Amino acid sequence: MRVVVADDVLLTRAGVAGLLAEAGCEVVGEAHDLDSALREAALSRPDVVVLDIRMPPTHTDEGLVAAARIRQDLPGTGVLVLSSYVEPTYAMRLIEDHLEGAGYLLKERVSDPAVLVDALRRIADGECVVDPTIVALLVGRRRRTDPLHGLTDREREVLSLLAEGLSNSAVADRITVTERTVEAHTKLIFQKLGLEADPSSNRRVQAVLTYLRSAS
């Protein structure tokens, strides 16, 4: 997997690049601000670009701006935005703008190479990945009209784990059931949410987005 790493802090950038290299990823470019991130992405055309959410010139939302530009100009390239802060609004902004091939993780997660690489692989495969802390925070907020009202407690649990980016096998391990059982739950979730099979869309991503919107 080919990756570009963008972060204005040299030690952080080098640390992430080193973790990825040790895990077998090819770091094809590094960047320190918005412009260099866009330039490296255009030149290298990686599978995924890892972006710090706050970079020069303004240190506000350059990561989200870069993610939007990259997804628009390079549809085959995924984006993973890293943040030091729990910012559900930013996470929802990213996912609502980019239903597939995008992720939002807290920087504390990148200390575990397995978690980071797994997230990148899922993003490269067109899935969306949201940090469990963000998911938990969003779940604490409920709308009066809940679009998930028809789901059982078990189906909600499965959907919340899918929102964290877990695979069916990982969900099965977490809730101690078979992978076939998770697949059955997932099919029922799609049906209850009215998500018909459509080659032009990813029902898994659509279900996760519905879940996150219901909690925001």
pLDDT for 136? 75
Q: 94-133 pLDDT, tens per residue?
A: 877 776 899 999 988 888 888 899 999 999 998 888 888 8
Pairing of strands 26-31, 2-6: parallel
Supply the mean pLDDT for the chain.
88
pLDDT band at 154 (very low <50, low <70, confident <90, very high): very high
Q: Domain map of the chain by residue range?
A: 2-130, 141-215
Instruction: Please give the angle made by the CA atoms of 127, 128 and 132, to the nearest 5 degrees.
Output: 130
- Looking at domain 141-215, its CATH class is mainly alpha
Indicate the pTM of the whole model.
Answer: 0.70
Distance (Å, whole) CA 28 – CA 126: 20
Q: Tokens representing 114?
A: 């397995």
Higher pLDDT, 181 or 98: 181
Residues 127/153/87/51 CA torsion (nearest 10 deg): -20
pLDDT for 171? 94
pLDDT for 92? 79
pLDDT for 159? 92
Q: Tokens representing 12?
A: 């952080």
pLDDT above 70 coverage of the chain, percent: 93
Q: 43-99 pLDDT, tens per residue?
A: 999 999 999 999 999 998 999 999 999 999 999 999 999 998 888 778 878 877 776
Higher pLDDT, 9 or 135: 9
Instruction: Please give the angle made by the CA atoms of 142, 169 and 18, to the nearest 5 degrees.
Output: 90
Given a contact cutoff of 8 angstroms between Cβ atoms, the answer to whether 139 and 215 are in contact is yes
Q: Is the dihedral of CA 32, 35, 38, 40 positive or negative?
A: negative
The residues, ordered by sequence, that sit 6+ positions from 2 with a Cβ below 8 Å of its Cβ are 25, 26, 28, 44, 45, 46, 47, 48
Beta strands, E only, the chain: 2-6, 26-31, 48-52, 78-83, 102-106, 128-130
| Average pLDDT of span 23-33 | 95
For the structural domain made of 2-130, what CATH number should be given? 3.40.50.2300
pLDDT band at 141 (very low <50, low <70, confident <90, very high): low
Q: Is the dihedral of CA 197, 202, 204, 205 positive or negative?
A: negative
CB atoms within 10 A of CB 19: 19
